[in-house]
A and B are shown apart, each in its own frame.
Chain A
């Protein structure tokens, strides 16, 4: 499939290292945030979400941090694997209503 973002910011990490992907969101009224992973030729897939009443949420090998003061989200991936190579998007919305608004994305490249 075609690459979805040839001009995206790129983060290159060594296999086994931790990755941190950052995102600035735009709407201070947003109360729900999601990280998506998009592999080449596929649609975005849900990774992890967080509500605005939390500042941290952990999943399997992934952690999302939310700083509402500066409208910043980060996605941490522990022990990054080659299968983690993809484009990662943050998205914001409100729990009830409104479509998701996506950030521009970051390409993660894992060096084996």
Chain B
């Protein structure tokens, strides 16, 4: 597609439930990133994928968070046993390669609310 697409745009879930957030990157972009943005905070890096390399999971806040990228394209971020502190906007970005110069294109995000 023309841009990075994320779904759903909004998600309300009950505490303890699992959620899946989806990201469709720009076609041909080899790198894909997940960030989390809480109220009053900047963007917090979670995980990134580059081609067929093992993902960099260094930003995942707990083992309740996981992500996969199938076929080098679509990615799913899964949060298990959601907690209220997981409420945030989850942003996905893609780029033509890893490294600042390739530039990131962000999606509009998924707003997750845990009640």
**A interface with B by C-beta (< 8 Å):** 1-8, 32, 34, 41-46, 49, 89, 91, 93-105
Of the candidates B41, B100, B111, the one whose C-beta lies within 8 Å of that of A95 is B100
Q: Which of B87-115 contact A (CB under 8 A)?
A: 89, 91, 93, 98-101, 103-104, 106-109, 111
B65 in contact (CB, < 8 A): no
Q: Which residue of A lies closest to B101 (CB)?
A: A95
Residues of A within 8 A of B44 (CB): 102
Of the candidates B41, B89, B100, the one whose C-beta lies within 8 Å of that of A2 is B89
Q: Which residue of B lies closest to A30 (CB)?
A: B100
Interface of A is mostly: loop
Chain B interface size, as a band, is 20 to 34
Complex interface: stretch among B12-20, B32-40, B68-76: B32-40
Task: List 5 interface pairs A-B (beta carbons < 8 Å), by A numbering.
Answer: A1-B108, A43-B108, A45-B106, A94-B100, A100-B45
Q: Which residue of B lies closest to A31 (CB)?
A: B100
Contact B108 A96 (CB under 8 A): no
Residues of A within 8 A of B59 (CB): 99
A81 to chain B, nearest CB (A): 22
Contact A94 B99 (CB under 8 A): yes
**Roughly how many angstroms separate A1 CA and B111 CA in the complex, as a whole number?**
9
**Roughly how many angstroms separate A34 CA and B98 CA in the complex, as a whole number?**
15
A109 to chain B, nearest CB (A): 16
Contact B40 A96 (CB under 8 A): no
B33 to chain A, nearest CB (A): 6
Contact A96 B99 (CB under 8 A): yes
